[in-house]
Amino acid sequence: MTCIASAFKVLCLSLLFVAAVASRPTNRPKVFNVQRYGAKANGKTDNAKAFTNIWKSACTRKGGNSKIYVPKGTFYLGGVEFVGPCANQIEFVIDGTLLAPSNPRDIKKDTWIHFRYINNLIISKSFVKKKKQSYYLRCRYTRRPRERVLATK
């Protein structure tokens, strides 16, 4: 009988351990794919609205980190601003190409891509393409905390 009782205790403890591990929240971020938010990888459609909407969803998500995924393809951006603070860490994973306007006057904002008031931002695998112009290579770092401009007019 004591052998059965011991085996039962071990079984119960094992089940409790498995239940505790299974109920723990994962550290994996929620992935937001820009194409599910309407972005088109045709190199012509301005995807600023889709990128703005996905940013809002990822930035306000509570309960874990967010990952914004840009798949392979060429995504034209006429100008976009990403504003925080966010509820979590955000990682941009760019497997595709972000295409800037060929003329700086075509940028619809003061800057092409602007991150403002954001902590814990990670940008990985990024590729930004310009069309024959060197003005996109300029990068301005301000003294104000948490603000980065990737390209200016």
pLDDT, tens digit, for every residue of 59-105?
999 888 999 999 999 999 988 999 999 999 999 898 888 888 887 77
Q: Say if residues 56 and 85 touch (Cβ distance below 8 Å).
A: no
Q: Which residues, in sequence order, are CB contacts of 38 under 8 Å at separation 6+?
A: 47, 49, 50, 53
pLDDT for res 126: 58
pLDDT, tens digit, for every residue of 96-137?
888 888 877 788 777 888 888 888 888 887 555 555 444 444
**Separation CA 125–CA 102 (nearest Å):** 23
Range of lowest pLDDT (31-45, 47-61, 119-133): 119-133
- Cα angle value 33/131/76 (rounded, 5°): 25
